[in-house]
């Protein structure tokens, strides 16, 4: 893709460089974007329908239904996911939980309860970065779990 790379580093700079290229009639062969951004490009007529590829490869049936809202507009698919991210991942070491004789938690309350049990056997139960954006993501995840998605959407 060297002949079609979009300069501009990353983030907003890359998006501006991409928009400038598209406006000049020189779009790249492939673009990467986040969430609903692809549907915006589709509305502008920049992307072609990929319905033929979705039908040929049964992609719609293979994708998690929650993903379709980012890919499909007016009964047409305009993008395919190359990766999927969530902000509220919590990684657990199953071997450590098994050693403690506790199940992997599925809620914040269970996580806090399991932390006490892990501390009792000498395990540091929760570790994370001290970067502000990662602390913010943890706070948002707790906010949603404790208060629910409707509360979060209003905030």
C-alpha 19/C-alpha 14 separation (Å) is 9
Residues 54 and 114 in one domain: no
Whether residue 6 is found in the same domain as residue 73: yes
Q: Which residue has the tokens 């907003």?
A: 12
Residue 15 lies in a domain: yes
Quote the number of domains for the chain. 2
Domain assignment present for 83? no
Q: Is residue 85 part of a domain?
A: no
pLDDT on residue 7 = 67
Asked whether residue 86 is domain-assigned, the answer is no
The answer as to whether 89 is a domain residue is: no
Pair 13, 73 in one domain = yes
Q: Are residues 18 and 67 in the same domain?
A: yes
Q: Give domain status of residue 144, yes or no.
A: yes
Residue 56 sits in the same domain as residue 101: no
- Are both 66 and 107 inside the same structural domain? no
Residue 138, in any domain of the structure = yes
Per-residue pLDDT of the chain (155 residues; tens, 9 = 90+): 566 777 666 667 778 888 898 899 988 888 888 888 899 999 999 999 999 999 999 999 999 898 999 999 999 999 999 887 777 677 899 999 999 999 999 988 999 999 999 999 999 998 888 888 888 888 888 888 899 989 988 87
* Statement to judge: residues 71 and 138 lie in one domain: no
What residues make up the domain containing 117? Answer: 94-154
Q: Which pLDDT score is estimated for 133?
A: 81
- What is residue 9's predicted lDDT score, i.e. its pLDDT? 60
**Does residue 65 sit in the same domain as residue 100?**
no
Model pLDDT, residue 112 = 92
The candidate with the shortest Cα–Cα distance to 38, out of 6, 66, 80, is 80
CATH, residue 34: 3.40.190.10
């Amino acid at each position: 893709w060297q002949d079609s790379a979009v300069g501009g580093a990353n983030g907003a700079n890359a998006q501006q460089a991409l928009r400038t290229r598209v406006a000049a009639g020189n779009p790249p062969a492939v673009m990467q974007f986040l969430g609903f951004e692809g549907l915006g490009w589709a509305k502008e007529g920049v992307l072609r329908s990929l319905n033929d590829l979705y039908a040929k490869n049964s992609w719609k049936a293979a994708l998690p239904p929650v993903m379709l809202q980012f890919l499909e507009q007016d009964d047409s698919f305009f993008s395919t996911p190359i990766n999927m991210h969530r902000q509220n991942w919590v990684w657990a070491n199953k071997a450590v939980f098994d050693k403690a004789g506790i199940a992997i938690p599925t809620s914040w309350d269970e996580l806090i309860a399991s932390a006490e049990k892990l501390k009792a056997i000498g395990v540091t139960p929760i570790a994370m970065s001290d970067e502000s954006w990662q602390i913010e993501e943890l706070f948002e995840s707790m906010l949603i779990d404790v208060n629910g998605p409707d509360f979060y959407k209003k905030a």
